[in-house]
Amino acid sequence: MLPEAIEAMTEHLGRVGNASSLHAAGRQTRRIVEESRESIADALGARPSEVVFTSGGTEADNLAVKGLYWSRRPADRILISSVEHHAALDPAQWLERSQDARVTLLPVDAAGRVHPSVLADAITAEDPSSVAMVSVMWANNEVGTIQPVRDLAAIAHQHGIPFHTDAVQAVGQVPVSFADSGADALTLTGHKIGGPMGVGVLLLARGLTPVSVLHGGGQERDVRSGTLDAPAIAGLAAAVRVAVRDQAAEHARLTALRDTLIARVRAIVPDVILNGDPVDRLPGNAHFSFPGCEGDALLMLLDAKGVECSTGSACSAGVAQPSHVLLAMGADTAAARGSLRFSLGHTSTLEDVDRLTDALPAAVTRARRAGLS
């Protein structure tokens, strides 16, 4: 966590008060929440009334996908990219299984990008009024490819269709403005930007009324009921402020560090495959496929040397199946299973890259031998 986020949370952890209560302690807590709401809105080019607090990215994605689908019935089509995080993809597929939704997975190119023409064709393949919503993430959590969000949102709007983007990976890494993006709903979460776990936001355009997933006290525009976690919200607001403030400088620093990492890995493992767009990608993302290696084995060998990385999406770790993202990009099963993601953030330094490149040769050799045995 960022020091600023820890400080903001610590300041409020010992205070008692429900932001929905009218007494003095409640009003004090409400003030913390509303000041945080205004701060987040200002940093991300939104109105305060468009900030809906959630428990994190998964809840925000579920609220966007399910809530917009239900609010647009009898429209029954959901158009969603084939490389979405499971927090958005699984709700769409659940709606298909249990709520009679018809889900179209938008194909991507070899870099993992949805081309605007693909979305346009999918919308007009049937009556456009049958499309309930479109969801395409701002930047991919596995391979780091950045999507043409503004162009995709514009195409959806030509047909009056709401557009949602999961920007969990994008905030703090690339410039993000809700107003400029054209999105109607945008997801972010605290722990990806140096804030606390367990708190997030769905930016929701005024006039958009998704059906609630959680019912109860009617908080957050009656869209998301539940007592608000004021200390976590204050920590999230602090993290958003710092991440947006430092975004340009961190982008330059992380891009240089990432490019060094990529060059060194390619020198050590000449047949390694860099996945995702080589240029238009998140500055802190380097994703490789290592031929002849099982990703899980390579991960554990590196972990034993103090290098922490990921196979596929961290949320599906432990599940013995290849990355759906790489398969959608055209990779074969072996390449998809032999992939690793190295993520760089505000604490990353050249010494971290040194440790990786020191450990990698022996780890790859051992993983390949294990694969042959």
Q: Are 207 and 7 in contact (CB under 8 A)?
A: no
Of 245, 271, 297, the position where a domain reaches its end is: 245
The pLDDT score that the predictor gives to residue 16 is: 80
Write out the catalytic residue numbers. Answer: 315
Of 180, 215, 245, the position where a domain reaches its end is: 245
- Residue range(s) defining the domain that contains residue 293: 247-372
Residue 91 has pLDDT above 60, yes or no: yes
220 closest CA partner among 58, 45, 68, 63: 63
Of 195, 220, 245, the position where a domain reaches its end is: 245
Whether 300 and 322 map to the same domain: the answer is yes
Encoded amino acid at 51, one letter: V
Q: Are 61 and 187 in contact (CB under 8 A)?
A: yes
Whether 145 and 194 map to the same domain: the answer is yes
Whether 172 and 267 map to the same domain: the answer is no
Whether 156 and 186 map to the same domain: the answer is yes
pLDDT in tens, 196-216: 999 999 999 999 999 999 999
Whether 327 and 367 map to the same domain: the answer is yes
**No. of H helices and E strands in the chain?**
14, 10
CB burial of 154-168 (b: ≥16 within 10 Å; e: otherwise) equals ebbeeeebbbbbbbb
Whether 258 and 229 map to the same domain: the answer is no
- Tokens 């991440």 correspond to 243
Token pair belonging to 256: 């240089």
pLDDT in tens, 259-304: 999 999 999 999 999 999 999 999 999 999 999 999 999 999 999 9
Whether 267 and 324 map to the same domain: the answer is yes
Alpha carbon distance 304, 287 (integer Å):
20
